Structure 1
């Protein structure tokens, strides 16, 4: 195996942040894998930075910062998903972007090959190449070992700590571009919803919990779609198992309702959206309290 240490700069201090409950804990863990904005020194991208930042879920962990105040744990990446994506399988690698042989497993999805956004992105949403060269296998190994694995481990540990036994609830937090159908190469079936919930078509979460969250947002005036255009990705497949009481639900916000998509700056409405998220979290926490034993 390739050593991920060879010829690399200092290791990241905090690739992932874990914010614990600020009040008595409930079995709720929320994670934002794509909102990191600390670009590693060894990234070596050559595309325009503004173009690269279109891959970010900028400010998503800020929108959800009330999680600890309702008893949940908030986990979020500090590094950008364009560097390495914690929401992709470790083997979702397009070996065509490598200069040498990849020693591990490689099973890129059709979406990775078409859109260039697998474990390590090769293209921006506008199909611009991120690199002017092919990456060395050791570079990808470094990113897996020191960014991808710490994130996945932190999330797994938070979920285990939240509910060593019994049911637990996991919200996988994202934002989506307002032109998402164009990016996906699809014809929009109608206006993009404000909020899209993904439960892998019922495989990662109970229908009842999905509907509870949908209803909480609709009550506040948000339009909600379920599994369209996003049904979820690898973290839901990894941690969602509703038959065991492990519910994983992806939540996507339409960026246009809180973010200037060109400058990445918050819109004036962003604080109101954040307050609405806090209200939804209170509804979720009340549900969890109602179906689980009291916590000490």
Structure 2
């Protein structure tokens, strides 16, 4: 199994799904029950957007789970209490680390410990080399290629969120999520006009939408979005209750309608030049 799939496109739009991986590598060594661990996945997000290559849209996808290694974290966001020795680089105990959701997860969204052992420094470094670097390199190449082809790139970082935030998921436990949350890190990773356009589009389809609350976007949009250079990166969170049963992880009758909505959204993005908004 490959850790990362990258399918280059021909259009100015690039999508990526960093958290929909369902392949659990043999060296994971977790103590947490797999059924509990799987609730951390953005399950089926890859399938919601599987139309992308057919539209000439670039696509990057992680096959490993976010709990194994979270590519939506900076390399410094490492909980060194998980390790059996000192980490050779800098570490920072930011809000995600405090929640147990750093580069390598310590806790599930419900606060269940993932491990009953210390992780070796070497195994964490292997995860970074196999997962983090290839993912970000593939995405950077696709974003840059889109800019060279068209003069700009619209990058959509694709996620899903539970209907209600769990105890260790965000700083807002118990929050009932809207249908969509768009994140641009307060206008620093995409043109605010583009963010407003997307929110207005989704609201016009009858959906509730928040901007930058409670999800602003994390490392992926921060690293790859630079609107001053016409690289626009938006994080899009989709409420899982729109398309799946959160207990069984099975898609329900809303899956098809949501996929059509996302297809229409991407088609609209293909016809949109953010430089003219």
**TM-score normalised by the chain length of structure 2:** 0.94
Q: Any idea what SS the aligned residue of 1:256 has?
A: helix
Contact 1:204 1:236 in 2 (8 A): yes
Query: Is 1:142 aligned to residue 126 of structure 2?
Result: yes
Written as runs of structure 1 = structure 2, the 5 A alignment for 1:214-229 is 214-229=199-214
Q: What is aligned with 1:6?
A: none
Please state how far the C-alpha of 1:66 moved relative to its aligned partner: 2.2
Alpha-carbon distance in 1 for matches of 2:100, 2:235: 21
RMSD over aligned Cα, in angstroms? 1.9
Please state how far the C-alpha of 1:175 moved relative to its aligned partner: 0.4
Please state how far the C-alpha of 1:185 moved relative to its aligned partner: 4.8
Written as runs of structure 1 = structure 2, the 5 A alignment for 1:94-105 is 94-105=79-90
Please state how far the C-alpha of 1:71 moved relative to its aligned partner: 2.5
Contact 1:176 1:254 in 2 (8 A): yes
Aligned residues: 275
Query: Is 1:18 aligned to residue 6 of structure 2?
Result: yes
Contact 2:172 2:214 in 1 (8 A): no
Give per-residue Cα distances to partners, 1:79-127, cap 9 Å, x unaligned: 00000011100111011111111112212313312x1011000101111
Match of 2:222 among 228, 234, 237: 237
Alpha-carbon distance in 2 for matches of 1:163, 1:60: 25
Q: What is aligned with 2:180?
A: 195
Q: Any idea what SS the aligned residue of 2:271 has?
A: helix
Shifted more, 217-226 versus 273-282: the winner is 217-226
Query: Is 1:258 aligned to residue 243 of structure 2?
Result: yes
Match of 1:184 among 163, 170, 179: 170
Match of 1:213 among 185, 192, 198: 198
Match of 1:72 among 34, 38, 57: 57
Q: 1:128 to 1:169 in 2, by over 3 A?
A: same
Q: 1:79 to 1:181 in 2, by over 3 A?
A: closer
Q: 1:290 to 1:283 in 2, by over 3 A?
A: farther
Query: Is 1:286 aligned to residue 271 of structure 2?
Result: yes
Structure 1 gap ranges (5+) = 1-12, 292-296
Please state how far the C-alpha of 1:63 moved relative to its aligned partner: 0.8
Alpha-carbon distance in 2 for matches of 1:185, 1:278: 31
Q: Any idea what SS the aligned residue of 1:116 has?
A: coil
Q: Any idea what SS the aligned residue of 2:5 has?
A: strand
**TM-score normalised by the chain length of structure 1:** 0.88
Please state how far the C-alpha of 1:167 moved relative to its aligned partner: 1.6
Alpha-carbon distance in 2 for matches of 1:72, 1:38: 24
Q: What is aligned with 2:252?
A: 267
Please state how far the C-alpha of 1:181 moved relative to its aligned partner: 6.2
Please state how far the C-alpha of 1:188 moved relative to its aligned partner: 6.1
Give per-residue Cα distances to partners, 1:215-254, cap 9 Å, x unaligned: 2212222111101110110111111111111111000001
Alpha-carbon distance in 2 for matches of 1:126, 1:118: 15
Q: What is aligned with 1:121?
A: 105
Contact 1:204 1:247 in 2 (8 A): yes
Contact 1:26 1:288 in 2 (8 A): no
